[in-house]
Amino acid sequence: MGDQQDGSQDSDDADIAVSLGPASQGLQTAYLVISLIVIVAANLLIILLVCRKEYLRQPRYFLRCHLAVNDILHALVIIPRYLDLIMQSNSRFYGISCSDVRIFTSAVALSKYGIYLLMAIDIYYFICYPLQYETKVTTSRLAIGMVLVDTFSFICTSLPLILVRDAGDNVSCLTKTRSFQPAFVIRIIGMVAQGLSVLVIIGLYFIVLKEAKRQQERDEQRPVKFYKTRGFKTMAPLAILLTTTIVSTLFMTVTVAQGNARDEQPSVAVVILEKASILLNLTLSSMLNPIIYSLRLPEFRRAMREMCGRRPTAVAPAVPTSQRRVHVIEVRGCDSASNAGVGLDSTASNARECATVLGSERDVRAASNGGGPGSAE
């Protein structure tokens, strides 16, 4: 993970704006402007839907709102900064100061990993402890968790930069932090916490996949591939987002470090790689967060249809697997009892029980299709 928490958003080692001519300036500007519009619009849509629709006011969706706020603030702060550098410079620019932009984006970078961790915990309780989910994952506990994540992110990333920002004007921000022991220790704590959060998330993924596979094999009475389980489909979007964030961060960190290590003027290929890695790191994760992790969900699609005035598609409410299995057992037991009944009275009694059970089953199906109990099938 290394210097990933600061470098992941604004390059802790260097603020770089690269331009290879007018065409390059135009392409970079167009990409960043389009990305900024997509990031702000998509994330604002998520916040608006959660605020307007009561069925979206749940802890798991509040986490998405917090992630959306992080992405919007980061995009509004850092993208205009890089647009300004692109338009003003035709060469490589190295910012050595601990600027306000760097202080803010460093906290946002670490906070994003904390939100990913809270999302993984949410999925863990939803899959592994479904009966205790409503009592374990509450809005108040979630609010406390988000406040702790934001506070810890500020202390471990922004505070060290604030402590050394006025120490030596001709020394880079990273060098200042390394030379001031309290700031360096706090920074190391933040890096360790970031790495541990990623490891915990991966561990929770493994536990969720294992438990989901066990549950589905028990219900279906047959072997099931892990990628075909409902748990895998639930956690796949979050895994994609985490992988994208880590890969784009590592890609930028490696390319920027390689460019900084050269004494001579870097080649065009190195400059292009640096430029591409920075642009992807600034925009890719923030664009994928709302599209892959939120707007693809049926609840959000339903809310968007309702907001546009379209009639929502009727969706049958999810029935817990344990209830479905118990219901099937009761129907089969009733059926077998009626076949094994001895005498007319016993058969009639069993038949009435079967009719009651099957009638309840019809009522459930009718209710799920939009009709009331007793509706015709």
Domain count, the chain: 2
Residues 131 and 70 grouped into a single domain: yes
* Mean pLDDT of the region 11-33: 62
Residues 359 and 283 grouped into a single domain: no
User: By the 8 A CB rule, do 255 and 272 touch?
Assistant: no
Proportion of the chain above pLDDT 70, given as a percent: 67
Q: Can you list the pairs that 331-336 forms with residues at least 24 positions away whose Cβ atoms lie under 8 Å?
A: 331/357, 331/358, 331/361
Let me know if residue 315 belongs to a domain. Answer: no
| Amino acid letter, residue 91 | S
pLDDT category at 265 given cuts 50, 70, 90 is low
Residues 264 and 183 grouped into a single domain: yes
pLDDT at 253 over 80: no
Q: Which residues contact 246 (CB under 8 A, 6 or more apart)?
A: 198
pLDDT at 144 over 90: yes
Report the pLDDT value the prediction gives residue 343, as an integer from 0 to 100: 43
Q: Which of 307, 332, 347 lies at the terminal end of a domain, its last residue?
A: 307
Let me know if residue 150 belongs to a domain. Answer: yes
Report the pLDDT value the prediction gives residue 277, as an integer from 0 to 100: 81
Residues 269 and 347 grouped into a single domain: no
pLDDT category at 260 given cuts 50, 70, 90 is low
What is the SS3 assignment for the chain? Answer: CCCHHHHHHHCCCCCCCCCCCHHHHHHHHHHHHHHHHHHHHHHHHHHHHHHHCHHHCCHHHHHHHHHHHHHHHHHHHHHHHHHHHHHHCCCCCCCCCCCHHHHHHHHHHHHHHHHHHHHHHHHHHHHHCHHHHHHHCCHHHHHHHHHHHHHHHHHHHHHHHHHHCCCCCCCCHHHHHHHCHHHHHHHHHHHHHHHHHHHHHHHHHHHHHHHHHHHHHHHHCCCCCHHHCHHHHHHHHHHHHHHHHHHHHHHHHHHHHHHHHCCCCCCHHHHHHHHHHHHHHHHHHHHHHHHHHHHCCHHHHHHHHHHCCCCCCCCCCCCCHHHHHHHHHHHHHHHHHHHHCCCHHHHHHHHHHHHHHHHHHHHHHHHHCCCCCCCCC
pLDDT tens digits, 26-65: 888 889 999 999 999 999 999 998 988 888 888 888 998 9
Residues 346 and 246 grouped into a single domain: no
CA distance 184 to 112: 22
pLDDT at 213 over 90: no
Residue 339 lies in domain: 321-368
Let me know if residue 292 belongs to a domain. Answer: yes
* Mean pLDDT of the region 159-173: 69
Q: Which of 281, 307, 333 lies at the terminal end of a domain, its last residue?
A: 307
Let me know if residue 375 belongs to a domain. Answer: no
Residues 12 and 122 grouped into a single domain: yes
pLDDT tens digits, 68-79: 999 999 899 888
pLDDT tens digits, 216-237: 888 888 888 877 887 788 778 8
Residues 39 and 147 grouped into a single domain: yes
Q: Give the position of tokens 């608006």.
A: 48
Let me know if residue 341 belongs to a domain. Answer: yes
Residues 270 and 358 grouped into a single domain: no
Let me know if residue 99 belongs to a domain. Answer: yes
Let me know if residue 374 belongs to a domain. Answer: no
pLDDT at 176 over 80: no
Residues 353 and 250 grouped into a single domain: no
pLDDT category at 376 given cuts 50, 70, 90 is very low
293 or 23, which is more confident? 293
Residues 242 and 334 grouped into a single domain: no
* Mean pLDDT of the region 100-110: 81
Residues 138 and 250 grouped into a single domain: yes
Let me know if residue 119 belongs to a domain. Answer: yes
Which CATH number does the domain housing residue 60 bear? 1.20.1070.10
Residues 215 and 325 grouped into a single domain: no
